[in-house]
Amino acid sequence: MPEPTPATGALQKSSVLVTGATGNLGREVAARLQAKDARVRALAHRRTGPRPGVESVTGDLTDPSVARAALAGMDTVFLVWPLLDTDHAHPLIEALTEAAPRVVYVSSAAIDDEAIRQSDPIVQVHADMEALLHGAGLRPVVLRSDTLASNTRGWASQVRAGDVVAGPDIARTPVVDERDVADAAVAAVLGVQEGELDHETYVLTGPEPLGRADQVSLLGAALRRPLRFEAVPAELARARMLADGRPEQLVEALIAASLHRPESHQVTDHVERLTGRPSGTFARWAVDHASEFN
C-alpha cells in the first residue's frame, strides 16, 4: 500500500457530488464540504426536503441518465456504492469515465488483497468496485473504512424497550466514528483537488478492536444503564430480520458477515494522517449520541 501523504490547504470553490447523501456518512460529508464553501450536489435514492445551499438530485446510480446528470459539472465525486453486487455498476463506471472527475471511494477495511474471494458479500462488493474503478483508469483515492459506530443506531428500539440488545455476533474490529471518516473524506477531497493525492489507499479505523458486547457495554455506560449483548444464532437472527421486512439479499449478507468475517486488530493512524488528529473512541461516540437511544 502506498505511504499516505497528508492533505493540507484550504478548499477552493469547487464542485463535489456526494452520493448516499442521506446516509449516516454521506450527510456528514455533505455538511462538512458545505462548511468549507464547496459547491455540493447531493445524490439520494429518495427525495428529501431541501437543504439550503445544497443542490439535490434524486435517483439511482444504476440509471445512466441519472448518473450523467448527477456528474455534470462536478470536479470530484464522493462515492458510496449502495448495492450488494456490481452487476449494475457499469452505467456509473461509463459515466465516470466520460466525465472524468476525481473519485474518493468508501470501501471496506476487511478487504484481504491476497484473497481470491473475500469473507462475505459486503466485503466482496467493495473489492469488486475497487477493481472496476481502477480498471477504468479512474485512479480513485480509496478510503477503506472499518465498521462505523453509527451502525449501532439500529439497536435504538431494543435499548428503549429494555436492557438487552440481541442480534448476530460479529468478530471484533476497530470500530470507527463516522465523523472521523467524514473528516478524512473531506481531507481526501481536498487532496485530490489540489493534486496531492492520487491512487492512494487509506485504512480508517478506531483506536481499539471492539466486539458487539463491548459496544453495548460502552453504550450502557453512556446511558448509565446495565445494558448487555445477547448473541442470537444465525438461523434465528435470519428469521427475525426477514420478519422485520429487511431485503433477503441484505439479510443473507449480514448473516454471512457474522459467520465468516475474521477478527481484526489492525489499528492505523490514517485518520490522523488525513485530518491531523487521532481517531476518537466509541465511548466518546456513545456519550455524544446517548440522547438518540432514550
**Prediction pTM value:** 0.91
- Give the residues of the chain that fall short of pLDDT 70: 1-13, 48-50, 192-199
Structural domain spans, the chain: 15-150+177-206+265-279
- In this prediction, residue 198 carries a pLDDT of 61
- In this prediction, residue 54 carries a pLDDT of 82
Classify residue 154 by its DSSP letter.
Answer: G
Q: How far is CA 227 from CA 28, 164, 219, in A?
A: 28, 6, 8
Kindly calculate the radius of gyration of the chain based on its CA atoms and give it in whole angstroms. Answer: 19
C-alpha cell at 250: 441484505
Residues 278/284/289/294 CA torsion (nearest 10 deg): 170
Beta bridge partners of 108: 145
- In this prediction, residue 274 carries a pLDDT of 94
Beta bridge partners of 148: 176
- In this prediction, residue 166 carries a pLDDT of 95
- Over residues 30-40, the pLDDT tens digits come to 999 999 888 99
Euclidean distance between CA atoms 215 and 192, whole angstroms: 34
- In this prediction, residue 1 carries a pLDDT of 44
Q: What CATH fold (topology level) applies to the domain 15-150+177-206+265-279?
A: Rossmann fold (3.40.50)
Euclidean distance between CA atoms 94 and 67, whole angstroms: 9
- In this prediction, residue 48 carries a pLDDT of 66
H helix intervals, the chain: 24-35, 64-71, 90-99, 121-135, 156-161, 178-193, 212-223, 234-243, 248-260, 270-275, 282-288
- In this prediction, residue 194 carries a pLDDT of 64
User: Which residues make Cβ contacts (< 8 Å) with residue 268, sequence separation at least 6?
Assistant: 202, 203, 204, 205
Question: Given the C-alpha cell 489499528, which residue does it identify?
Answer: 267
Euclidean distance between CA atoms 200 and 267, whole angstroms: 18
C-beta atoms surrounding 162 within 10 Å: 10
C-alpha cell at 42: 447531493
- In this prediction, residue 49 carries a pLDDT of 60
- Over residues 196-217, the pLDDT tens digits come to 666 689 999 999 999 999 999 9
